[in-house]
Structure 1
Amino acid sequence: MIRTILCEDEYWVRKGLIRQIPWDRYGLELAGEFSNSSQAVEFMKNNRVDLVITDMNMKDGDGLSLLDHIISSHAECEIIVISGYTDFAYTKKAIQASVCEYLLKPVETEEICKVLDKIILRVREKEKLQEREAKTAPLLQEQLLNTLVSAGSPEETSQKIVNELSQMGFSLSDTWFTVQIFALRKEFTGTDGMLTDSELQRWFRNTEPLVSSDNRIFFRTKRSREHFILLWQGTDQAPVSKADFILTYRKLAELCPYLLKSGISDSVKGYSGIPLSYRHAAACLDYELAEFGLARPVFYEDISQLSPAPADPVIIDEAVLTGIIKSGSVYEFKKYMSDLFLPCCRNSYCYLPSYRNTASKLALSMERIAAGKNFSFSELSGAIRYISGMISAEEIRSFLSVCFQKIAESCKYEKNASAKDVVAEIKEYVRLNYSEEISLMELARKYYINHIYLSRLFKAETGENFSSYLTRIRMEKARELILRDTFKIKEVAEMVGFKNPYYFTKTFKKYYESTPALLEKIK
């Protein structure tokens, strides 16, 4: 609604105007009516007003004082002057105040409606402009903040950015600053764990009100889509305390539906040191306190002197690994992983780049062992891609444990079931589920067997291809149903797994050298 006030000293004229103006038609709300300009000025000091309709010549103060107040304090407010006073000084002042129209009494309804048409059009344009600015302002702020944390910005450029941010309401005085980075990731559930843009945006919208304040600015970084920056500002005398960083992280971790990791830089004096502070915070994301995992953030002061890489390259003994897989012992596999990852840790901290590299080598060895037994797992085939995005050592170990258990279960099944047993189970499954969608790939995943190997195994055991066997079962059942003379041919097609009745007829004719309709007639 457009909040409107009416200022007119003559009571009956004021009430007449209120009755004359079509309020609902133009979306106007009468916020107040006043008999003099002093009352109107006092009201506007504490209330939003979008449109002022005022007389210019009133007994207790004229309209000029009201216009003066609007010019100095309410430049966006629209004004309509309605008066019988034609002195040039008033008209000139009205024009300076951006009056939409200067109307003389008595005012006809048609005249005031024409004026209101113009004002409403102008108000709507302002609203559209404000909406566009509201949408672009956060993006501009984010762009400026990302430029500020980027390395190599000249000092004069940094000062210009600080000035622009100050105009937007972000005051960055030359005090102590600390950068805290948050990294997000989904727990592994068979996908790569990356969040969608809408999920990231939703998390940012929910989190921003919780962490932003007078001394903290929260924004997305352009360098990584799943990283967010919280820029802390201390005082002239001291930076923000370490306890504040930890408490903020714990608060967000409790509320976050995803895996959350945080790295915190050393504090720097002056905004010129923010780029270095950002690089230090980003470096913290490569480390994890082994005892606590993601339960605690990582501080740059704790990892700045650590040696990042293992001294010797990791060698996977596949003979030992094969023996552990055959034993199926989860305990032995975890112990094997612990020994393997030991060189990736320094002073209770895990160095994740080395951790991921070692994990990728282990996953490749497990994939080779699985392939040698004709086992196939989607987790192993995409292991390097999955591991490369993981943000926690515990997440990496859990992923590898899942892969180990799947291979171990397949080895156990291989011991207990011969090739004939597997084929017999598949044949029985087809006989019971021929009406459903069935594929060799689906059955291969069900039995953890490579689909090419399964195809060869089925042909060797039955003397026919899997597709031929599936077609035979379906055609035999279709013939049986047609001879019952109970169902229509279209219904029979659906009952034996054919969604397209025309393709069913074609397949039936090819198999029996007779169409279903002809068989029906013969019967």
Structure 2
Amino acid sequence: MYRLLIVDDEPEIRLGLKLKIDADRLGLELAGEAANGLEALELLENEEVDIVLTDMNMPLMDGVSFLEACRERHPDARLVVITGYEDFNYARAAHRHHASDYLLKPVARDELDAVLAKITAELDGERDELKREELARWELSQYYKEMREHFIVRLVKGESDRESAVLDRAARFGLESWARREARFLTVGLRHRDTAAAEPALERTPDRFLLPLELICREKEETSGASCAAFRDANYPGLVHFVTVESEDWLRAFAAELDALVRELLGFELAAGIGQNAAGFGQWKEGYLSALLAWNLSDGGTDNGGDVSGEQAALSGEEINVIERYLERGELAALERAVSQSLRKAMASSRSRFVKAIFQLYLVLEPHAHEARVRLDSSEQLWIRPELALALDTVDRAVRFLAGIAEKIDRRRRSEAGEGEASLMDAVLRYIGENYMSELNLTQIAERFNYNPSYFSEMFKNKIGKTFIQYLTDARMAQAVRLLEGTELGLWDIAELTGFSNASYFSSKFKRMFGMSPSDYRQQASGKKGRGGS
């Protein structure tokens, strides 16, 4: 509904105008009436008014003075002037003050209706355009947030690009000062509790509150300013993670405040784990994994990663790497022997070290299970049921548990290989779609999916119908077109956000593909939108 103000010094004329307006059909409601310009200005100060229908010949403040004041103080209000035939100077004044239209006395119903219909249509168009602009700003904001979080996840997974590319991207997302500073990680989640005693209808389990937990964490991130960044890892859907370069005391206070919020709003206790310090981007993976492990070992409250990495870790980096290589090669017997040997050594040291070793090995296997799309049942999900580790009270039981997950992963991989190359291509295309903005090349992708680069190149072209470079360029260009059409970002920004090395190279590729420069394309797209909205 648009709000209308009627200004005339004669009550019967105001009444007549109201009776001639089909308010419901036009989507109008009366904001008020005024007998002169001074009353009208006072009402405009206190009421939201979209359209002003005003006489020009009034006492106290004439129409010209009212138009001047109204245009200065309320420039968004639409002005419709009513004047006598003999008062042509008033019509000129109305034009000078950008009145939407003017009507001659006596005002005919159809003329008034036509003028108001034209104005409401213009207001509808402006509202639609404003909504489109707000949506574009929101989408751009979301896009930036998604790209920033994607960058952080790649860092904590150890999948970062060349150092120069990493630093450039860090600058893009306001993280350049974090590159060589000491960072700390916090992992939080709702601990699963035994609810067997609860009535089924009243059962409250953490998995039903994952979205509210994430919303609380995102809001807490926002209120912290730029002190920390929240992110999610698809491997651990029930957890939210934070990284900060603030002190450990700051992080502990932050975790305590978050816990208080969760208790108040959700009625759950928050389990949290703080990882070891990570000096620079190169150590973010270790810092993140130590926070994950600390969360898994916590029993509510906030636990510190302590000695989960480095020389005092339950298992050494070399032991982990050997076991991971066996998994990659599908050498399950060798993997089982290596796991057994590592666990026996940990058990000989202490029960605590043995439990930490189980979790370390689980954190090696779980991402591979996710990548292979292996569904782990609830009895295998230590990330949400860490108490299950207590049942793995012997080396043999722990080995059977971990080897069982490894066997599932290997069986899935062999099954997909047996299904042919179509399944592989689906995974490759999905990976490109999730990482087009990063530095990708054919050799890197081939090695990731365990193929010889030359053979992979031929296979990709045969299956997809275009070369790897052509497909990657098309995927990046599709996103670039979206940003050209929906945002006002400069070419350097668009090139950066879509994976092109620089704006010059992006412009050159764009012109070859579309026959015009990105700027010309944006102007043309903007023109089409303008014609479509008029």
In the superposition, the TM-score normalised over structure 1's length comes to 0.46
> By percentage of residues, which structure has more helix?
2
Q: Which structure has the bigger radius of gyration?
A: 1
